[in-house]
Structure 1
Amino acid sequence: MPSAPSPVAIGVTVFRPDAAQVAALLARVEAETRPTIVFDNGGLPASAAADLVERGARVLSAGGNIGIGGALDAIARAAIKAGAAQVLLLDQDAAFAPEQVTELEAALARLRTVSPPPAVVGPRPEAAPGRKAPAYPRRPGFSEDGSLVPVEFLATSGSLVDLAAYARIGPFRSDFFIDGVDLEWCFRAWSLGYGCWMETATALPHRVGAGVIRSRLLGIEMPRQPLFRMGAYLRNSVYAWRLPHVPRRWRVRQAAYLPLQALLYWADSGYRPGVLAHLSGAVLDGLRGRLGRPKGLP
């Protein structure tokens, strides 16, 4: 008699993983009893894909880089088709143990009794050595539930998504390609009567970027990103201002913060004219609604 489908599927997006990341992914698949779906956005060696399949993972690919939004949607569709009720989303750098998945399952079960119903629950972010952890602003108007905190949004990596809620909220924006995908989806979830929660009792180190850019004068710090990704961040942030489900308080905050980030990034580049031109063009693309593959994408 066939076993019942696991209520949780694990979804991992990879892009040009190095040998250490491939080894960690293989070890994760071996240690995890839940089904694992890997989406290759490009660069996964054929031998590594074969090893993953041999260990029981399902490997998906569109034959090239379709961005994080498209990859996450492909994973979610595959998880639904496999009969899962939730999917835990991870990137190739995420060190998230199987027992932590169980903690998020329990947290999601606890949230079934609250209103609004949960769309996603994720771990507390921590900074990996030499990196900056993302910050999740608290959602106003909602109370904590023990160790669970209502937040405006959280990063997709480490997030346990309720797939019934996902079906109602809709897919991630593939035209955002990489940055702001999680933020827009969570704001949309809140606007449609679902909640996004952070479980503070468990944590996930984040390894975004290659170091941190800091300015004591401006009082800000940010991940040091490739130029194409910084451009995508600015473009998508500016475009999101026109979306009705993005709160006015967030638009006001971003309107004040984005110019400072752009200035800090430009200063870190040595005030190169080409960098300023790229960032300015990205803002213009956001204002004009020109989304899709970011300019300068390798």
Structure 2
Amino acid sequence: MSSSDSLSSTAVAVVFFRPSTAQVVRVAERFGGRMPIFVFDNGGIPPDALSQLGTTPGVVRLGEGRNLGIGAALNRLAEAAAAAGFRRLFLLDQDADTSPDTARALGFALDRLAGAMKGQALVPALIGPAAAPNPGHKAPRYPLRPRTPPIGALLPVEFLATSGSLLDLAAFDVIGPFREDFFIDAVDLEWCFRAWARGFACWMDPATAIPHSVGRGTIRSRFLPLAMPDQPAFRMAVYVRNTTYSWRLPHVPTRWKLKQMAYLPAQVGLYWGHHGFDPRLLVRLLKAGAAGLLGRLGRPADAPP
């Protein structure tokens, strides 16, 4: 694909779960008629927003309004886009504040990577923007991949958020789908580590940036340089479960497992304290960690419909 052709084989993929009408309208207005839009309805799209999607050119709506989790939604979107002949997919969540210009810039960057890495053992699979500051929210950090040099200003990273990233669908077909049994948290992290283990690479373009909103705000430690998103207990439990399960996976690097083994207990303690040291909450998080270690994944019993 040439740089001048950077959007001709690219579609937008958006997962909606209980979005506001304004969030749906923003996607429709910014991308409608400019790029094909594949939408997955995980539930709760307001009726007026559904009407807006119905009149927006180029929209393909998937899903039946039931919450299948982010992994399943992304997989269905990738399958549909590939079947329709698209080669790249610009992944978004409903909070993403971006435009076709970002997709175009990432397409140019992915073209440069493909040219520079031609004939090498690694193949670029995913490129995403840097995380722009978002007041009230902790911006995610994307660690650099050791022993992999940058290519110009483009940086190899261990993982990055799916939202705002440009996915090469041929690479996705080889690497495999996102884990549906993770349901929501750490889906992108596990997939990127799997990509690296299979000879593919994930990249960040610092020249592009979009804000990310994870959770309802940020919890900060009074005594340690530690901050984390404040999320509902259901989602925190899924995060704990998926993190401990990842310690079982051979493609997750030992350096990352050791870091998380030190970091996760601090996160649990910080979250527990922020929510009033409720014993029931601590038991819930400890049971979630045990479930991960035992490989008990899947849709959580208390997942929102």
Q: Structure 2-normalised TM-score?
A: 0.93
Distance 1:158 1:80, change over 3 A: same
Q: Which residue of 2 aligns with 1:40?
A: 41
Q: Which residue of 1 aligns with 2:232?
A: 226
**Counterpart check, 1:236 vs 2:236:** no
Q: Which residue of 2 aligns with 1:8?
A: 10
- Displacement after TM superposition at 1:46 (Å): 4.0
Structure 2 gaps, min length 5: 1-6
Contact residue 132 and residue 223 of structure 1 kept, 8 A: yes
C-alpha distance after superposition, 1:147-195 (max 9, x if no partner)? 2100000000001000000000000000000000000000000000000
Residue identity opposite 1:91 in structure 2:
D
Q: Which residue of 2 aligns with 1:280?
A: 286
Distance 2:302 2:274 in 1: 19
Q: Which residue of 2 aligns with 1:26?
A: 28
Distance 2:302 2:54 in 1: 33
Alignment counterpart, residue 128 of structure 1, candidates 127, 130, 134? 134
- Displacement after TM superposition at 1:234 (Å): 0.5
- Displacement after TM superposition at 1:117 (Å): 1.1
Secondary structure of 2:283's aligned partner: helix
Q: Which residue of 1 aligns with 2:264?
A: 258
Contact residue 11 and residue 36 of structure 2 kept, 8 A: yes
Contact residue 160 and residue 189 of structure 2 kept, 8 A: yes
- Displacement after TM superposition at 1:50 (Å): 3.5
Contact residue 228 and residue 295 of structure 1 kept, 8 A: no
Residue identity opposite 2:137 in structure 1:
R
Q: Which residue of 2 aligns with 1:296?
A: 302
C-alpha distance after superposition, 1:195-237 (max 9, x if no partner)? 0000000101001111100014122100100001100001000
Contact residue 165 and residue 194 of structure 1 kept, 8 A: yes
Residue identity opposite 1:77 in structure 2:
E
Q: Which residue of 2 aligns with 1:271?
A: 277
C-alpha distance after superposition, 1:231-254 (max 9, x if no partner)? 000100000111110000000000
- Displacement after TM superposition at 1:295 (Å): 4.2
Identity of aligned residues (%): 53
Distance 1:293 1:54 in 2: 33
Distance 1:46 1:81 in 2: 28
Contact residue 31 and residue 100 of structure 2 kept, 8 A: no
Distance 2:48 2:25 in 1: 12
Q: Which residue of 1 aligns with 2:3?
A: none
Match runs of 1:1-298 below 5 Å: 6-30=8-32, 33-56=34-57, 57-112=59-114, 113-114=116-117, 115=120, 116-298=122-304
Distance 1:139 1:88, change over 3 A: same
- Displacement after TM superposition at 1:59 (Å): 0.9
- Displacement after TM superposition at 1:277 (Å): 1.2
Aligned residues: 293
Secondary structure of 1:64's aligned partner: coil
Contact residue 218 and residue 260 of structure 1 kept, 8 A: no
- Of residues 232-241 and 208-217 in structure 1, the stretch that sits farther from structure 2 once superposed is 208-217
Structure 1 gaps, min length 5: none
Contact residue 70 and residue 184 of structure 2 kept, 8 A: yes
Q: Which residue of 1 aligns with 2:4?
A: none
Secondary structure of 2:270's aligned partner: helix
C-alpha distance after superposition, 1:29-67 (max 9, x if no partner)? 33x511000101001134422321321211111440000
Distance 2:240 2:40 in 1: 26
Distance 1:52 1:294 in 2: 30
